Structure formats: structure tokens, C-alpha cells
Amino acid sequence: MRTSHKVAGGSAAVIAAAITFTPGWEGMDLTAKRDMIGTGHPVTYCIGQTDEFGKVKVGQKFTPAQCNELLAKSLPKYLAPLQKCVKREIPVKSMAALLDAAYNAGSGAVCSSPMVKKINAGDLEGACEAFAGWYVRSDGVVRRGLVARRGGDATRKGEKQLCLEGLAEGLARPSFLDKLKLFFLSIWKGLF
């Protein structure tokens, strides 16, 4: 039986891994402010949100629970394009590293990155290593990927480390219950 996702463990596992990783890099702004780092200087709030959930005014307040909920709603929008451009099954944490990069730089930039090219060529270790040299163009400027994240630091790991952890852990194998759920889901879809 063929599934639509390219990651062992499924989308929920990838999103769960990213939810534990992404806030450490993005931070959490409980008060909306102008983003002076990115392009266009949009109003930013919570965990890197801008205007995907409607207009927000500078000074508007949010709770940590609201911010976590918004991140959980945002990540699937970035994961869906990755699932289309990644042609091989990869470990959960490796896909979570790509998802975090997409959340920061955009899914299109990640899909055209050396990381995805190497994954699709069957070189997952090379893909993880490619996070260190990745760069994107924005506002006519070449920016080295997620510069602060390339090597991580003593308290926070970068995408490269997360990707390599995935490689070390390998592919998760679905349990009997997971296989049973997929079987009944395919029957259910066939009925309608």
C-alpha cells in the first residue's frame, strides 16, 4: 500500500518534532512588532507569524497558548509543498529540519535547496551537511541560509544537527496498529 507522505511516521510526527524545535530559534513575541530583520518589515508576532491569519496591529497582545496554536496551524502549510518535492522517505527529524527551514525561508526556497536535491539523489547525510552552506536570495541580497543555525550553539541545535539526529535514528517503522489504520482508511476512501 502506498501512502501520500514521504516521511516515516507521518505528518503529525514531523509537525510535533518541529513544534519542539522551531520556537527555540524563532522566539515568542507576545506583543506584535515590526520585523526589522526580514524583507518588507511586516508586523510579526508569536512564533514568527506575519499576516497569514489576517492583519495584526503593532502592540496587539497574544498569550503563549495562542502562539503555540498558531504555530501548529502554520506548519502544515509549509509541510505540504515539502512532501511534494521530497521524493524519498526520510526520517521524521530530518523532515522536521526541512520544515523548520521552510517556515523561516519559505517552502519554495527549501524545495530548490541543495538539501532536497541531495535527499532526492539518495544522499541524506550530504543533505544534512548541506544546511551549513545553504543560502537564499531575498531583496536582491544573497543570505546564507539560516546563518545563526548552521552549527547551533551550546544551548540550541541547528537544522543540520536535527537532520543528522534523524539520520542516526533511521526510519520509524509503522506499528501493526498504524498499518491497520491505513488499511481501514483505504477501504473507507474506496467506499466514497
Enumerate the active-site residues.
26, 35
In DSSP terms, 61 is beta-bridged to: 31
Ordered DSSP codes for 118-142: HHHTT-HHHHHHHGGG--EEETTEE
Task: Give the distance between the most distant pair of CA atoms in the chain.
Answer: 53
For the chain, count helices (H), then strands (E): 8, 4
Closest CA to 100 of 7, 24, 41, 164: 24
Cα distance between residue 21 and residue 63, in whole Å: 19
Cα distance between residue 106 and residue 83, in whole Å: 14
